[in-house]
Structure formats: structure tokens, C-alpha cells
Amino acid sequence: MPVVSFGLLMPVGTITDPQNKPGFATFTAQMISEGTKDKSSQEVAEAFEFIGARLSAEARREMTLISTETLTKHWKKALKLMAEVVRFPPFPQVELDRVKREHLTDLRRAKDDSGFIAEQIIPKFVFW
């Protein structure tokens, strides 16, 4: 089956996190798929699933990527859904709280991961 992928690349990443809010870009990327002004996070997930599409959002060091992959025959529907998610994120409190708990759990796990720690420390010595 033919598949199409498309994405939105924004020049804002983890390097732009405020000092008093580490993880802000990652948290925002996680929140982007948590609903729209007209759809709950569950409804967004079901809409993508219904057409066999996948939405992903990832904050990298210097950029944030929001992307979708779907069957070619559903590309217009997938693009419309992705545009709705990006343009109208409501950040509802219940989803903010849930994603915050998940994010904090991930951070606690990461502090025990030597690879993650190296990724955070080494660039400061190499590139600065």
C-alpha cells in the first residue's frame, strides 16, 4: 500500500527551554496531540486511527517536528487533522496533569540512564 509522510518543522527545540523550565519543549510536543478545541485527545487518536494514520511530535535539540504518516488515499484527511491539532491545541487541564505526570516519570527514569545523562552533559562541553 502506498504511504505518504509529511511534517511541520519548527525552529524551536530543547535548546530554547527556559532555564527555570527544563523539558518545556518536550512537554509541549507531548501535549500537541492531546485534543483540539473541538475534539478530546481520545477523539483525535480515534480520528487518526480510523484512517490508518499516525501522528507524532518530537522536540529535538534545535527543532520540533510534528509529523503524520498515512495511506496515500487518506492524505487529505490526515493533513486536515494534523492542521487542526497544530492550530487549535486547547491544552485541557486534565490532559496537562496526565502528561505532566508521565513526563516527570520519564525524567525520573532518565536520571538513571547513563546514555541520557551523557546526551545532556557532553554537548555543553563540546559545543559551548
CATH code of 12's domain: 3.30.830.10
Domain of 21? 3-126
On whether the CB atoms of residues 81 and 67 are closer than 8 A, the answer is: no
Number of independent structural domains in the chain: 1
- pLDDT for 17-73, tens place per residue? 998 988 889 889 989 988 899 999 899 999 999 999 999 999 999 999 999 999 999
Query: Grid coordinates standing for 99?
Result: 502528561
What is the per-residue pLDDT across 57-107, written as a single tens digit (0 to 9) for each?
999 999 999 999 999 999 999 999 999 999 998 888 888 898 889 878 887
- pTM of the model as a whole: 0.75
Integer Cα distance of 29 and 103 in angstroms: 11
Percent of the chain, pLDDT > 90? 56
Q: What is the DSSP string of 53-114?
A: -EEEEEE-SS-EEEEEEEEGGGHHHHHHHHHHHHH-----HHHHHHHHHHHHHHHHHHTT-H
